[in-house]
Chains A and B, each alone.
Chain A
Amino acid sequence: MAEGPRCLYYALGGGLGHGMRSLALARQIVRSGGGHQLLLFNSPFAPALLSAVAPETGIAAQSLSPDAGPDQAGQRVKEALNTFRPELFVIDTFPRGLGGELATLLPDCSARCVLISRGLPRGYVERYDLAPFVSRHYHLVIAPGEPSPFEGVLPVHRTRPFLVRDWEELPGQDEAARRLGTCVDRPVLLLVGSGTLPECAEVARWAERLAKVWANDLPPLRLALPPGIAVSAGSVPTVMHCPLLECLPAVRLLVGGGAGYNLVHEAGALAVPALYRPRKRKYDDQLARLPLGACFADFRELQVAIHRELQLPRPSLSRYANGAAEAGRLVLSST
């Protein structure tokens, strides 16, 4: 397993998206090419990411403090480049780093640089001349299931969304149901807290409010939160499992407290019905990610949308192809 490339992953940024996308790719590279993978992230949901990385062979992770500034982050990245000595440096979303800290590191970086290029605001891309920067310093640009701001300007390889499990790896519906504390014939309505801690707390409040008016013949209510955070939803059973994708086969309707990359693409890949409360982000256009009719703005709209969705027949789970596998092949063939 040690044979193969040494890959360093820059996965800094809030939420779970950057870390899970990087983990999804790292798993595929290990599977196809072995080697050593090291993930760097600074999410406040570090316990969730670490729990997802822990079972993986050949993959390690280092968590930076969420309070670390660009200088500290840059120092840690520099240390990792010098000590880990990667052959590949995979950067998620931010070509210059979240705080611009990679701008001075990449010119001296001997590793081949790969950009996993999710959307970014046009103003940011233009103000910082990101396209010429990417052209100068990156050897490969991959758009993981969403448009890249560099398409049409630079060569960009499009793939399907990166998912942290292949279809064939998912547990059966009985195992997913067990994780959610239900049985196969009673799939749950799963409210999912993600994004930020206050947003997780808000979703927990929705769960409590729904529980007060919830009829027994409706799908059981469950609240899913990233492992390691201290939020309670009163009487609603809480599930802390990462990756959440492993629970989705037993979900009748998913309610996302945000519309982040993982949640939207995981539910979409499996064709699990889902509603989302899109959040405004500095760099991520969550609304653009959503299909028609899948979002709500407040608790009242949520109630109406749940009522509407539960009238519809439950679709069968959909098989999916994992864009991370395709990206892994692209990365390995580029070395």
Chain B
Amino acid sequence: VVVEECQEQSGFLFAHACGHPVAAVCTRCQKAVCEQHTVRGSEGMPLCTTCARQSRDDDGPDSSDLSDDSPYFYSWYHFRRHGFDETEGPDPHDFTEGDQGVLDAPGEEGADEDDPFEDDMGAS
């Protein structure tokens, strides 16, 4: 069976199938994953984000060579409610890019990066 679409679940709180084109196979669980859901583990071996998280949880954040700025750890402008503790590492269970998809309901205000700005005096 040839898997053409990423098998990773996208979005932590609102999980849904990712569906992006496959770019790698996880060396731990053999799940087919897209580029976005591929994380380079030890010695550069590809891991799916689930296994990468598991690896990080098992080994501790300092023992892994998974980069903290890997996109699966972060969405843009991630921050914590109680401030700006820069010594605190990102929470691997926090929101992901996939969660942003739930905000794309039809009729909602908002814009993609390519949409024009400064054209709506009711925006916020």
Contacts and interface: CB of A to CB of B under 8 A. Distances in A.
Given A160-B83, A282-B111, A70 B123 contact: no
Nearest to A70: B121
Contact of B118 (A42, A67, A70, A268): A70
A293 interface: yes
Nearest to B102: A297
The DSSP consensus for interface residues of chain B is loop
B109 A295 contact: no
B88 interface: no
A34 interface: no
Contacts of B83: 145, 160
Given A158-B84, A279-B109, A44 B122 contact: yes
Contact of B109 (A149, A281, A297): A281
B92 to A, nearest CB: 11
A21 to B, nearest CB: 11
Interface in A1-58: 12-15, 17-18, 42, 44
A268 B99 CA distance: 22
Interface string A65-103: 011111001000000000000000000000011111000
Residue of B91, B100, B103, B107 with most partner-chain A CB within 10 A? B103
A196 B87 CA distance: 37
A121 B124 contact: no
A73 B121 contact: yes
Nearest to B115: A282
A286 B103 contact: yes
Interface string B58-101: 00000000000000000111111111100000010111000110
Contacts of B14: 297
A234 interface: no
Contacts of B103: 278-280, 286-287
A280 B109 contact: yes
B13 interface: yes
B123 A282 contact: yes
A282 B113 contact: no
A122 interface: yes
A291 interface: yes
A291 B81 contact: yes
Interface in A267-297: 268, 278-293, 295, 297
A128 to B, nearest CB: 7
A177 to B, nearest CB: 26
B37 to A, nearest CB: 19
B43 interface: no
A147 interface: yes
Contacts of A13: 123-124
A123 interface: yes
20 contacts: A14-B109, A67-B121, A73-B121, A97-B118, A98-B121, A128-B117, A158-B84, A160-B83, A260-B124, A280-B108, A281-B109, A282-B123, A283-B117, A283-B123, A283-B124, A287-B100, A288-B78, A292-B91, A292-B95, A295-B13
**Which 9 A-B residue pairs are closest in the complex by CB-CB distance?**
A280-B110, A280-B103, A123-B113, A14-B124, A100-B118, A282-B123, A13-B124, A282-B111, A288-B77
